[in-house]
Structure 1
Amino acid sequence: MRILVQNKKAYHDFTIIKDYEAGVVLKGSEIKSLRMGRGNLKDSFVRIIKGELFLLGCHISLLNTTNPHFRPDEKAPRKLLMHRKEIDKLLGSVSTDGYTLVVLSLYLNSKNRLKAKIALAKGKNLHDKREALKEKQANMDAKRALAEFKRI
């Protein structure tokens, strides 16, 4: 598994409940762009429209070598592929429980196919974000102190 693009902001802004894997429908040379690391998932999210999953807000830059007559939109909605039962479960969770669907990463699986790791998430409040940062800092300080103690 080779991770091409990550959404680090999602871990900061949301509490991840459960994650899923979905295929991504791309056009033209977008896979080459992603392999070169020219994608951005910073403000991307997933919507269920007419029973299908769509990735919105994902930016995939164009290559210089792309044919000038065929230039797909860089921020176009991209369809995600999942089984119908999984989509129905996600729709139920999103509509009744108030969860959000966010994209955590785009990666290549063992068969060299592009997959999206999407997550069912709950938004964090400001105080939750601060608490998470304090906890992360405390863990780093503890690891640093332990490493210092082992050196002595």
Structure 2
Amino acid sequence: MAKKKNKTLSPDTIAVNKQARRLYEILETFEAGISLVGSEVKSLRGGQVSFKDGYVGFRDGSAFLLGVHIAPYDKTGAYDQHDPERPRRLLLHKQEIATLQAKTEQKGLTVVPMKMYFSRGKVKVQVGLGRGKNVHSKKQDLKERDISRDTQRQLAAYK
């Protein structure tokens, strides 16, 4: 019997932050490289990452990915393990960092990681500039999604 293919993720996708679009209204997205150590890359190849409380912080003209948990690689010795919650430097252009930092300071926006994937052998992170949703807008999104799902079911029933 053939294996089922996962249609939601491309083969190069490591993980997707499903909470990002639910909790934030994403205004812009950026692709960033990420500075990692070897055991972190091996863990990412196994898909062992959690975006639970992840966000992007700025310090000394650099952007850092904070709060993202990359599990320690189990086949690495104890001497060579990485800290799972360590800040990881994002590789963005200086102008992109300045733009994101200015928007987060002035307008009450935040930068959240949305997706992590491999691109030509390098790990990339898609970060989004987002504004937090309130309870009413979350309920409105759920209502719209339910309505569209019901209409798709009815159209499929008539075919």
Alignment of 1:113-128 (within 5 A): 113-128=122-137
User: What corresponds to 1:146 in structure 2?
Assistant: 155
Which residue, out of 57, 65, 69, partners 2:75? 65
Alignment of 1:23-102 (within 5 A): 23-102=33-112
Which residue, out of 14, 28, 31, partners 1:4? 14
Contact 2:56 2:112 in 1 (8 A): yes
Hey, what's the Cα distance between the residues in 2 that align with 1:68 and 1:121? 38
Hey, what's the Cα distance between the residues in 1 that align with 2:148 and 2:57? 35
Tell me the TM-score normalised to structure 1 length. Answer: 0.95
AA aligned opposite 2:139: R
Alpha-carbon offset, residue 98 of structure 1: 1.4
Q: In the TM superposition, what whole-angstrom CA distance separates every residue of 1:32-89 from its partner, at most 9, and x where no partner exists?
A: 1111111111211101112110001100111221121111111111110000011111
Give the number of equivalent residue pairs: 149
User: What corresponds to 2:28 in structure 1?
Assistant: 18
Alpha-carbon offset, residue 28 of structure 1: 2.5
Contact 1:28 1:72 in 2 (8 A): no
Hey, what's the Cα distance between the residues in 2 that align with 1:65 and 1:88? 39
AA aligned opposite 2:126: K
Q: Which runs of 5+ in 2 are unaligned?
A: 1-9
Hey, what's the Cα distance between the residues in 2 that align with 1:144 and 1:50? 52
Alpha-carbon offset, residue 7 of structure 1: 0.5
Q: Which runs of 5+ in 1 are unaligned?
A: none
Hey, what's the Cα distance between the residues in 1 that align with 2:127 and 2:118? 14
Root-mean-square deviation over aligned CA pairs: 1.0
